[in-house]
Amino acid sequence: MRKWMTVITAVTLTASLAACSSKTDTEQTKASTKPEATTAPASATAAPAAKAPVEITFWGDWGGEGEKQFVMMADAFNKSQDKIKVKYVLQEDMITKFLTAASSGGSPDVMFWDRWRTSLYASKNVLHPIDDYMKRDNIKRTDYYDEALKELSAGDKLYGLPLTVDARALFYNKKLFAEKGLQPPKTWEELETAAKALTIWEGDKLVRSGMSMNDNGLFNMWLQQAGGSMMSGDMKKTNFNNEQGKQVLDFWDKLINKDKVYKVGFEKGLGEGTDAFVTGKVAMTYTGPWMLSTYKKYGKDLDFGVVPPPTGPSGGKGSVMGGFGLVIPAGSKHKDEAWEFEKWWLANKDNALLWAKTSMNLPGFKPALQDPFFKDDPNWKPFMDTLEFAKIRPQHPGYSVMEVDGLMPNLDLFVQGKQDAATTLKKGQEQGDKLLDQNAAGK
């Protein structure tokens, strides 16, 4: 027995004391009869290598600060889990490259998407619907603006979630209003009164405009305020060559040519890079929430306020809702992983807020708008109020072509005094209806 104990002592001194001290005599005996068990390489018992994350690509056409913000969100998602890795890829001429990739392979997995494009491209079968994902993960449609979801839909299918929402509201110069004892306008009549009082001419030279009238693309918004709509209920024809359309152009004519609160080309004449509102050359202007951060930078040099768009002659409210979303291309090889990224970003309050506070955009996820950052800021509230009645552009594949190539050239002639209201609306209708028909889905 002593000899056996001596052997054990010797082994103990030449091996790992911790490894042997807990074994019984029986265990020691078994170990001595199976030396291969103690000399096997470590790799034989090592845990399996961790599975590499699935890599997905995220395409967008925002560079500069926008690119940094997208990379930030991709990095935050990548750090939140270890199964998926997102890489943002900046793409110039993104839509052309996307359509090429859709037919030849190489589609991205997630895309930054201007929502109005959905009705045009969904019919080309290049987008993947997310309805099943929404149902599976119990994502509530009520957490988003109906109009924003409608703009991301075609037929009875939803193709993405809203990233941002926006609408035009009226910015006004508080200092100039106070000097004249004016209150921000709530109606067209009050808008006209304020614009006339705030306009300054020196002979034939316009020194200060009471109201910027440089964006004819806002006709849709003004038409809503007049109680009208851009297209018929069946979405087949234009619907502005009527009394509501005439009310808009008559009011524009009154502001520009009778009240002379604006002169065509006035803002361009101030020089490239000059913001007429910042410099006090324009007392009121329609723009969106994307300008808040810019105007806030000027501090005391620009004391401004924001109010919802004034109502039309019959009390009609109107503004156009725009914004972006995230979609999953039909050609994505990793649709499930793409959805996880989209859901993480756009169906989670904290992540939606991270994006919104960094980019200074209104988030498409409504619960995030209840954060004090938005709810308690008097400059954000008018936009949130406006979004409650703002409408998206009509969902017709040819709408943008109709507006840009059919209506806008005629509106330009009108504000330049080269065409009367009746002719403008008639030609806009004729050319617009033709373009709608030519660009209808399936043609």
- Topology at the third CATH level for domain 169-320+396-438: D-Maltodextrin-Binding Protein; domain 2 (3.40.190)
Of 405, 380, 220, the residue nearest 316 (C-alpha): 220
Residue 393 DSSP class: P
User: H helices within 137-186, ranges in order?
Assistant: 146-151, 174-179
Q: Are 53 and 82 in contact (CB under 8 A)?
A: yes
CATH 3.40.190.10 in the chain is located at: 54-166+322-387, 169-320+396-438
Q: Are 158 and 152 in contact (CB under 8 A)?
A: yes
Helix (H) or strand (E) holding 429: helix 421-438
pLDDT band at 154 (very low <50, low <70, confident <90, very high): very high
**Is it true that domain 54-166+322-387 has CATH number 3.40.190.10?**
yes
Query: Would you say residue 46 has pLDDT above 60?
Result: no
205: β partners:
202
- If DSSP codes are grouped into helix, strand and coil, which group holds residue 396? coil
pTM equals 0.84
pLDDT value of position 442: 56
Q: Are 325 and 122 in contact (CB under 8 A)?
A: no
pLDDT band at 181 (very low <50, low <70, confident <90, very high): very high
Rg (CA), the chain: 32
pLDDT value of position 47: 58
Q: Which residue has the higher pLDDT, 9 or 359?
A: 359
pLDDT value of position 440: 86
Q: Are 164 and 114 in contact (CB under 8 A)?
A: no
Query: Would you say residue 324 has pLDDT above 80?
Result: yes
Q: Are 294 and 360 in contact (CB under 8 A)?
A: no
Exposure string over 227-246, b if 16+ CB within 10 A, otherwise e: bbbbbeeeeeebbbbeebbb
Query: Would you say residue 24 has pLDDT above 80?
Result: no
pLDDT band at 431 (very low <50, low <70, confident <90, very high): very high
Could you tell me which residues come within 8 angstroms of residue 210 by beta carbon, excluding any fewer than 6 positions away? 194, 195, 196, 197, 198, 199, 261, 262, 283, 284
- For the purposes of burial, counting CB atoms within 10 Å of the CB of 313, is it exposed (0-12), middle (13-18) or buried (19 or more)? middle
Query: Would you say residue 335 has pLDDT above 60?
Result: yes
Distance CA 291, CA 313 (A): 28
Tokens standing for 129?
A: 């619907």
pLDDT value of position 13: 32
Distance CA 268, CA 8 (A): 97
pLDDT band at 270 (very low <50, low <70, confident <90, very high): confident
Query: Would you say residue 162 has pLDDT above 90?
Result: yes
- If DSSP codes are grouped into helix, strand and coil, which group holds residue 31? helix
Q: Are 180 and 197 in contact (CB under 8 A)?
A: yes
Give the rounded percent of residues in the chain with a pLDDT score beyond 90. 80
> φ, ψ for residue 320 (rounded to 5)?
-100, 125
- For the purposes of burial, counting CB atoms within 10 Å of the CB of 279, is it exposed (0-12), middle (13-18) or buried (19 or more)? middle
Degrees (nearest 5) of the Cα angle 416, 422, 426? 100
54: β partners:
84
